[in-house]
Structure formats: structure tokens, C-alpha cells
Amino acid sequence: MKQAGGADGRGLAAPPSPRYTGAMTPDALKAFARTDAARLGFDAFGVAPGTGDVTAADRLDAFVEAGRHGTMDWLPETAGRRRSARALWPDVRSILVLGMNYGPDEDPLSILERRERGAISVYARHRDYHDVIKGRLKELGQRLLARAGQGEMKVFVDTAPVMEKPLGQMAGLGWQGKHTNLVSRDFGSWLFLGSVFTTLDLLPDAPGRDLCGSCTACQTACPTDAFPQPYQLDARRCLSYLTIETRNPIPRAFRAAMGNRIYGCDDCLAVCPWNKFAVSAREAKLVARQDLKAPALADLLALDETGFRTLFSGSPIKRVGHAKFVSNCLVAAGNSGKAELLPAVLARLADPAPLVRAMAVWALARLSARDALERRADALHNEEDAMVRSEWHVLAQED
Ligand code: B12
Ligand code: SF4
Ligand code: SF4
């Protein structure tokens, strides 16, 4: 048994275990892994062949060629390895795909009506799922190798150059729906995905069958019309990308449509009829924190760097950084129609981060056009940043 380094350098091989030496059939090994996965808190399990999904590669190329990845340059940069499991690791023979249910315990869209509150998407209302899942994938893989008495493995969740959704479909966990995410018959839209690549031969499961039928609910629900075709997403129009991935200001065309969504978006996921079988997360670390279900925008706008880091310690939100997060909250404040948020917005006009000042200008103009016009000349006199100046200038053109 060799020590295998993961793509992130942290993949592990199990230490030799005298208890588990001896041949096991691929079927018995798979049954062992399935039981172990459930014990470790995974809700869905399947095996894909080591070849991965070869048809997904062409679609990835088409996505990148059309520029739909926006500023996520790491997608084209890693496309060579991402497009096939064997390109990532030539020795892989089987891929265990695991799903962990993060189903919400209430309607995730009801918060959208409460405009003075910030809507945080379901996946970010609790502990960072990468932290929850990665260690368990390693444990699963280690125990499998120990049981087999041979082999190597690497584990992946989200950030590695692996196309997890097509793999999930190949492993029979569900199918890539028209909203492009994997839909499960048992858990609807609410499964996190992770995988264990291994050199062991395990019997693959039958791939998941597309059960979208004539439904178009996700496409209709999208507030920014981000699906140019069913099964295809233009990330540049997706609020998840705009609020999390890009550090540029939210384009003006999408600011009103953003409403109070300050981190990610769940609309296309939440309307899927297959959620009728969904249940709330059983993993305690994936149950929503009370304080992140409907946080007041006034409180979030008042957060300084330290307060931001403390509030979002252990949460994926921490990774977007204070400036991006506050800038998202300012767009939400601008959409709130709540004059009581004006003092918090005015305070951010003097923020050291240009991105924050820029969105404060927009929010101010939305909440009080008169205030904005009164301040414009002075602000332009003192402002040196081109992005912020352009927000004031556009305001002038909109007189
Ligand atoms: C980049 C990325 C994003 C980007 C781009 C999303 C996207 N759809 O590609 C952005 C930032 C927008 C994003 C948003 C979200 N993400 Co994301 N993201 C990823 C990541 C890192 C890579 C995805 C990827 O490869 N995209 C590239 C393009 C080419 O892939 P694609 O859209 O799936 O393209 C397919 C379709 O176009 C399809 N296709 C094209 N034509 C046709 C035609 C037919 C007939 C068919 C059937 C298919 C088809 O084939 C392509 C290849 O499979 C994965 C993790 C991973 N390593 O896989 C997580 C991942 C997909 N994200 C996830 C989540 C939870 C989200 C959000 C729900 C978070 C949120 N609440 O805000 C949203 C959902 C938005 C949406 N509707 O997709 C989960 C999804 C879990 C699941 N059950 O599927 C993943 C798997 C992370 C994880 N480990 O759990 N994400
Ligand atoms: S996450 Fe929101 S913005 Fe993105 S595609 Fe789904 S509904 Fe549209
Ligand atoms: S909402 Fe309808 S079309 Fe969209 S993924 Fe679910 S079943 Fe498919």
C-alpha cells in the first residue's frame, strides 16, 4: 500500500492493517464502503467508473469558450485536468461519490419578502461544508483501503479540478437538472457532493436518469435570467457568482434583481418539485445558525473587519472578505426601501474600500435621490477612485 498525495497534497493512504489483509470481492468492498459512508453521516452513495463522464468535457469547453465562467479563471486554467478523471489521476479505477443532505428546515425563499433583512443562501447558514465533509471522505477512503489491504486514494470536495455533478450522475446519485445542479429523488436540490478516487476496482452503479421532464420551474424562477438554455448556466448573470465569486461591483443591470440576497442564491434550487421528498439536514453542523437565518441589514452594515471575522468564523462567508460582503449588504439596503438604513449607508460613503464606497453611492441614490444629489459635487471633488467616481457620474446622468 503506497502513500498517495491528494491533488491538494493532503490525500492519505491507509496504514497497513493486519486485521484487514486478505482478498475481498469488489462487491463486498463496495458494501463495506456504503455502510461506512452512512456511519460517517453521508446521505447518498454511489460508484462511478474511473473514466468519469466523458461527455461533460465537451460541455465544459463550450461553457468556457462562451465566456460563461466570467472572472473564474481557475476554471479554464484547470480545464485539462477537470475534463476527465483520468487526466487528473491516470491510476484512478473507481470513484466513490458521496452526498450530504443540507436541506433547510423552513422555506428558504420566505426571507426574500423581509427587505430589511439579508438573505444568506442555505448552503452558507452553517459551518463551512468543506470542513465538515473533507475529513470524513479521508476517513472513508482510509478505512476502505485498510479493508482491501491495498490501493491508493485521493479525496475531493468542491475546490479540486473535478466535475462533481456529472460524476454524481454517473454514480447514480441523481441527475443534472435544468438548473445544472444535481437533483436527487430523495433529497431534491440539497446535496453537497464529494468524491473518493481510488485505484480499487468497485462495481459501478447505474447512472441517474433525467427526471426533469417538461418542468421549467427553475428557469422561470431565476431573478436574473441566467439560463440561456435548459441545463446551461451563464455564471456572469447568476447571483451566486455575483455575490460570492467576483470582486467587481455587481453590474447595474442586476442590482435591483438582487433584492436582499447578500450571499448566494437559492431560487432555482428551492422551486424544484423534487424537493417534495427533501428532509432537513441530519448533520448538526449543517443545521442553520439562528443568527444567520434573517440577520438585520442594519447590524451587518455596522460590522467592522474584526466583527465580520468573528461573526463568520467557521462559515464559508468569511472567505469573501469584509469589503465584498458589506458591498453586497449595501446593494440590499438600496433595494430595501427602508429610510432607517440611511445612516448606515451614509457612514459607508467614507469607507476605505472603493468597492464599498461605490455601492454606498448606489444605495444612497436608491434610498434618497435628493440626499445623493446634494452630496454629489463635494464627493466628486474629494474622490480619486475611478470606480467610485463613475457611480457618482452615472447618478448625474440619471438626473
Ligand atoms: C464553478 C461552480 C459554481 C459557479 C458556476 C455554476 C455552474 N453551474 O457551473 C457558481 C459560482 C455560479 C456556482 C453557484 C452555485 N453553486 Co457551485 N460549484 C461550482 C464548481 C466549483 C464547479 C462547477 C463546474 O464545473 N462548472 C462548469 C460548468 C461547465 O458546469 P455545469 O454548469 O455543470 O455545466 C454542465 C451543463 O452545462 C451540462 N449541459 C450542457 N448542455 C447540456 C445539455 C443536456 C441535455 C444536459 C443533460 C446537460 C447539459 O453539462 C455541463 C457539464 O456537466 C462545483 C464543484 C465542482 N468541483 O464540481 C460547485 C457546485 C456545483 N456548486 C454547488 C452549489 C451548492 C452551488 C449553489 C447552489 C450555491 C448557492 N446557493 O449560491 C449555486 C447554484 C447555482 C446554479 N444554478 O448552478 C454544489 C452543487 C451540489 C449539487 N447538488 O449539484 C457543487 C457541486 C459544490 C459541492 N461540492 O457540493 N457554482
Ligand atoms: S442561483 Fe439564483 S441567480 Fe443563479 S441561476 Fe439559480 S436562481 Fe438564477
Ligand atoms: S425545477 Fe424542474 S426543470 Fe428544474 S431541475 Fe427541478 S425538475 Fe428539473
* 302 Cα–ligand 2 center, Å: 28
For residue 374, give the C-alpha cell.
446634494
Cα-based distances in Å from 47 to 153, 180, 288, 382: 14, 21, 30, 61
* Alpha carbons 295 and 328: distance in angstroms, whole number: 14
Helix/strand/coil for 195: strand
Helix/strand/coil for 52: coil
The pLDDT, as a whole number, for residue 55 is 82
Name the pLDDT band for 295 (thresholds 50, 70, 90): very high
The pLDDT, as a whole number, for residue 21 is 37
For residue 205, give the C-alpha cell.
452503479
Mutation pick for ligand 3 pocket among 212, 219, 227 (CB with most ligand atoms within 8 Å): 212
* Alpha carbons 341 and 360: distance in angstroms, whole number: 11
* 240 Cα–ligand 2 center, Å: 6
* Catalytic residue (one of 91, 158, 201, 371): 158
Write the CB contacts of 64 (distance below 8 Å, at least 6 apart in sequence). Answer: 75, 76, 79
The pLDDT, as a whole number, for residue 396 is 61
Atom of ligand 2 nearest to the CA of 269: 6
Q: Which helix (H) or strand (E) holds 154?
A: strand 153-156
Amino acid letter, 353: A
pLDDT tens for residues 197-214?
999 999 999 999 999 999
Closest to 126 measured CA to CA, from 250, 272, 264: 264
Amino acid letter, 70: G
Minimum CA distance residue for ligand 2 atom 2: 265
Flag whether pLDDT at 184 surpasses 80.
Answer: yes
158 part of the active site: yes
Closest to 200 measured CA to CA, from 234, 251, 152: 152
The pLDDT, as a whole number, for residue 397 is 67
- Extents of the domains making up the chain: 1-107+127-227+266-287, 228-265+288-397
Minimum CA distance residue for ligand 1 atom 18: 158
Minimum CA distance residue for ligand 1 atom 14: 240
Ligand nearest to the CA of 275: 3
pLDDT tens for residues 234-268?
999 999 999 999 999 999 999 999 999 999 999 99
Least confident window among 43-57, 165-179, 183-197, 329-343? 43-57
The pLDDT, as a whole number, for residue 3 is 29
Ligand nearest to the CA of 231: 1
Atom of ligand 1 nearest to the CA of 222: 77
The pLDDT, as a whole number, for residue 24 is 83
Whether residue 132 contacts residue 281, with contact meaning beta carbons closer than 8 Å, is answered with no
For residue 375, give the C-alpha cell.
452630496
Whether residue 169 contacts residue 148, with contact meaning beta carbons closer than 8 Å, is answered with no
pTM beyond cutoff 0.85: yes
Give yes or no for residue 234 CB within 6 A of ligand 2. Answer: no
Atom of ligand 1 nearest to the CA of 245: 11
pLDDT tens for residues 102-159?
999 999 999 999 999 999 999 999 999 999 999 999 999 999 999 999 999 999 999 8
Flag whether pLDDT at 63 surpasses 60.
Answer: yes
* 389 Cα–ligand 2 center, Å: 30
* Alpha carbons 356 and 323: distance in angstroms, whole number: 6
Buried b vs exposed e over 1-37: b needs ≥16 C-beta within 10 Å? Answer: eeebebbeeebbbbeeeeebeeeeeeeebbebbeebb
Minimum CA distance residue for ligand 3 atom 8: 212
Give yes or no for residue 219 CB within 6 A of ligand 2. Answer: no
* Alpha carbons 324 and 243: distance in angstroms, whole number: 8
**Alpha-carbon dihedral angle through residues 354, 360, 366, 370, given to the nearest 10 degrees:** -100
* Alpha carbons 312 and 316: distance in angstroms, whole number: 8
* 222 Cα–ligand 3 center, Å: 12
Pocket of ligand 3 (CB under 6 A): 177-179, 183, 212, 215-218, 271-274
